[in-house]
């Protein structure tokens, strides 16, 4: 995969197990194997289901959803760095998350998800993840996750 490669929703769905309304990546903007990095996009719209109750008069994207979007981008970076494992469609398990939230994410924002693979093994990984709006960091996290390869039924 080269640095200028971007992925549409069809290719994203080949990698991620999540589906609407829990799929929080609209496009992969950049894949960089050398830097062990991906940059993804989530368009934040009034139609996102979580805004109905969070908060109706001042809609703010929940921190847990931002972390989930970063975790999904982490799966993308894993797939880039370990395609032979990702191609088996394993189960991914969120491990430890250390996060800081700096600014609210609101309707109309484009959430840019930058994820750097720090340690990527066949069965686990840890990443540094940044969520940005208009070039400004709105959240940052270190995320650890496990990968369980499914047994084949014979």
**89 in active site:** no
Q: Would you say 124 and 144 are in contact if contact means Cβ atoms under 8 Å apart?
A: yes
Give the span between the Cα atoms of 142 and 129, in whole angstroms.
6
Give the span between the Cα atoms of 144 and 115, in whole angstroms.
12
Give the span between the Cα atoms of 115 and 129, in whole angstroms.
4
Task: Report the sign of the C-alpha dihedral through residues 24, 22, 151, 12, in that order.
Answer: negative
Catalytic residue among 27, 54, 106, 142: 54
Which residues does the annotation mark as catalytic?
A: 54
């Amino acid at each position: 995969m080269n640095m200028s490669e971007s992925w549409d929703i069809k290719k994203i769905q080949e990698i991620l197990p999540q589906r609407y309304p829990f799929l929080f990546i609209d496009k992969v903007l950049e894949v960089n194997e050398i830097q062990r990095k991906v940059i993804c996009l989530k368009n934040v719209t009034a139609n996102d289901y979580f805004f109905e109750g969070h908060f109706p008069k001042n809609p703010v994207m929940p921190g847990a959803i931002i972390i989930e979007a970063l975790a999904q981008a982490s799966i993308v970076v894993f797939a880039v760095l370990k395609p032979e494992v990702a191609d088996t469609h394993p189960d991914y398990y969120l491990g430890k998350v250390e996060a800081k939230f700096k600014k609210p994410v609101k309707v109309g924002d484009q959430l840019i998800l930058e994820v750097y693979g720090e340690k990527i093994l066949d069965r686990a990984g840890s990443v540094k993840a940044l969520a940005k709006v208009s070039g400004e960091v709105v959240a940052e996290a270190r995320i650890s996750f496990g990968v369980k390869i499914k047994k084949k039924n014979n």
